A and B are shown apart, each in its own frame.
Chain A
Amino acid sequence: MAPPFERSDPPDDAPSPPGLACAPPGHGGDALDAALLARASLGEGGAARALAARRAPALIAVATRLLGDAAEAEDVAQEAFLRLWRAAPDFSGAGREAGGGSVGGWLRRTTRNLCLDRLRRRGRLAPMEAAPEPSDPAPSALERVVAADRAAALSAAIAALPDRQRVAVTLRHLEGLANPEIAEALGVGVEAVESLLARARRTLAARLAAHREDRE
């Protein structure tokens, strides 16, 4: 069952197949996605490839952060696209208009839900009272990126967080979800999410400070 549609994403500069001009950033990205999907649903592989090239990088990036595994993130992103190809008729005509969503938003939500499902199946998102917070892994990840910039350092620090903290931070600060939405996704209360975020931010701030000192 396809998840409900949601907000749109900013377009990027990925190439389009012949006959479809690439939209400039900030204009027409949703329309281009819809056009590519319509052509892909008719069996035009070039359109499917172009749509994947436009949207997959961001999906793989967020899935990698949520799952902590790049190869598994690609599996999830491919599954999200497979579901999109199957749901393609829902994006045409009244169905899409009624949903008021976009292809990009649909893909993001599907990818996120697939990641959370995988983490739940492994018990890595168990309720807080059932599974005590694991001890923080060694902060050696940051040491490997001393020469990198601040964003790279933060990315490495996020990857080293415990599962639930990493997911909460990714959904809140990189996916833009509100705390109640995160609470629903994780199956915990809003206060628990606030606690997870507070602990994660403290850890990340400390590691960024250490990174800064290392570079000075």
Chain B
Amino acid sequence: MTGEDRSDHASGLDAAFAELAAAPPREAPAAFLDACAADAARVALERGTAAAANGQGARRQARFGRRSVARPSRGPSPRSLAMAAAAALGFVVGASGALDGVAGQDAAQDAALAAFEGADLLGEAAALDLTLEDGS
């Protein structure tokens, strides 16, 4: 133990550091927790939307390759639309169930809006396919 260490010990600094390190921190504010939960719901939704879009693209590529070839125009299948709707509903329910009151409603609305935007993207992709196919 150096002279400085002994001095710290004698002054009570070591004990005070130990007390401070062991002291339980104050609880995080509810608004902070709400914001974190909303962030998590948004990120999960973005990930789910991206995965759905990637899955559709991969299926199309596996079926038709990279060439823009004529094929019967189908758009998103009823099954893929149903899956996307179910996923969006799950995220909305998850977000609304996590939070109380106004914060929960806001998070649910954000999630629903993002879900609709994701559905729009799928619809645009299907419309683009239709245009290419009609022109080929």
A residues in contact (CB < 8 Å) with B = 12, 40-49, 52-53, 56-58, 60-61, 74, 77-78, 81-82, 85-86, 88, 149-151, 153-155, 173-174, 198, 201, 204-205, 208-209, 212
If A81-B36, A150-B19 touch, does A41 touch B44 (CB 8 Å cutoff)? Answer: yes
**In the assembled complex, which residues on chain B have CB atoms less than 8 Å from the CB atom of A212?**
12
How would you classify the secondary structure of chain B's contact residues: helix, strand, loop or mixed?
Answer: helix
Within 8 A of A (CB), among B1-56: 4, 7-8, 11-13, 15-17, 19-21, 23-29, 32-41, 43-45, 47-48
List the A side residues contacting B48 at CB < 8 Å: 43
Using a CB–CB cutoff of 8 Å, the interface residues on chain B facing chain A are 4, 7-8, 11-13, 15-17, 19-21, 23-29, 32-41, 43-45, 47-48, 90-91, 94-99, 107
24 contacts between A and B (CB under 8 A): A12-B24, A40-B44, A41-B47, A42-B44, A46-B94, A48-B36, A48-B39, A49-B33, A52-B28, A60-B25, A60-B28, A77-B28, A82-B36, A151-B19, A151-B20, A151-B23, A154-B16, A154-B17, A173-B21, A174-B21, A201-B8, A205-B7, A209-B11, A212-B12
The answer on a CB contact under 8 Å between B97 and A56 is no
- CB pair A208–B16 under 8 Å, yes or no, is yes
By a CB distance below 8 angstroms, the chain B residues around A53 are: 27-28, 33
Nearest Cβ on chain A to B106's Cβ, whole angstroms: 12
Choose one: A58, A85, A150, A173; the contact of B43 (CB below 8 Å). A85
Task: Specify which of B4, B24, B36 is in contact with A49 (CB 8 Å cutoff).
Answer: B36
Chain B CB count within 10 A is highest, among A42, A45, A154, A204, for A45
